[in-house]
Amino acid sequence: MIKVKVASLVEGDGEVGAVPVLLRRIINSIDPTVIPIVPRGFRHPSGSIRRPGGLERAISAVSEIHAGHAILVLIDSDDDCPSDLGRELRKRATLSRPDLCVSVVLACREYEAWFLAGAESLGGQRNLIRDLSPPANAEAIRDAKGWLTNQMRGSAAYSATQDQAALSALLDLDLARQRSRSLRKLWKEIEAIVRVASMNRD
C-alpha cells in the first residue's frame, strides 16, 4: 500500500471540509490500493490569492503546516476563464516554489457547478427535490448556489458550510465529470499526483 498526501488551498469555509472529502473519493476511484492522506483545507480568500504575492505566501504557509504533501490550489473561476487564470496561477506557483508539487485547478464559475453536473445523483438529499434534473450546461450557470436553493423543498436554502461536504460525498463523480470540463481537469491533476506517488513508493 502507498500513501498519497494532498493538502489543499481553498477560498471558502465550505471547501475547507468539502475538498478533502472530494479528493479522498477521487483518489480511491483512481486507485483503491492507495491510502489517501488529505487534511482539512487551508482557507485563504480568493481575492488575496489572486493578488501579487498572495498565492505565494499561502503556498508557503501550507507547505510549512503539511510538509511532504502535494498541494492542490482549488478556487472558483467566477467570471474569469479557468484555463487562462489557471495557467497564470500555476506559473506563479512554480516560479515561487519549484521545490514543491503544486497543482492548480479552477472550478468553472464555482465549486457547486459540479453538483449541478451530477444533479440526478443528489435528488432527495439535503432538502433537494427528489426529481432533480441538471441544467443544460452546468458550468454556464452564474449562481450555482442559488440554483441549488431553488431546487430545495419549502423554505430550505443551500448552505456551503452545511451542505457542501455532504453533497461532495454523495455526488456521482463519473456522471459529473462527463459534463464538467473543470472536474475532469481536477481528476487529471489528482491522477498525476497518484502516479508520482506510485513511482516513488518505497
| Strand 3-10 versus strand 35-37 pairing type | parallel
Domain range summary for the chain, segments of one domain joined by +: 3-199
Q: Is the pLDDT of residue 87 over 90?
A: yes
Give the pTM: 0.94
Place of cell 482557507: 43
23-36 pLDDT, tens digit each: 999 999 999 999 99
Report how far residue 91's alpha carbon sits from residue 134's, in angstroms, rounded to the nearest whole number. Answer: 34
Q: What is the pLDDT of residue 145?
A: 97
Query: What CA–CA distances, in Å, run from 130 to 121, 123, 141?
Result: 10, 4, 21
pLDDT band at 200 (very low <50, low <70, confident <90, very high): confident
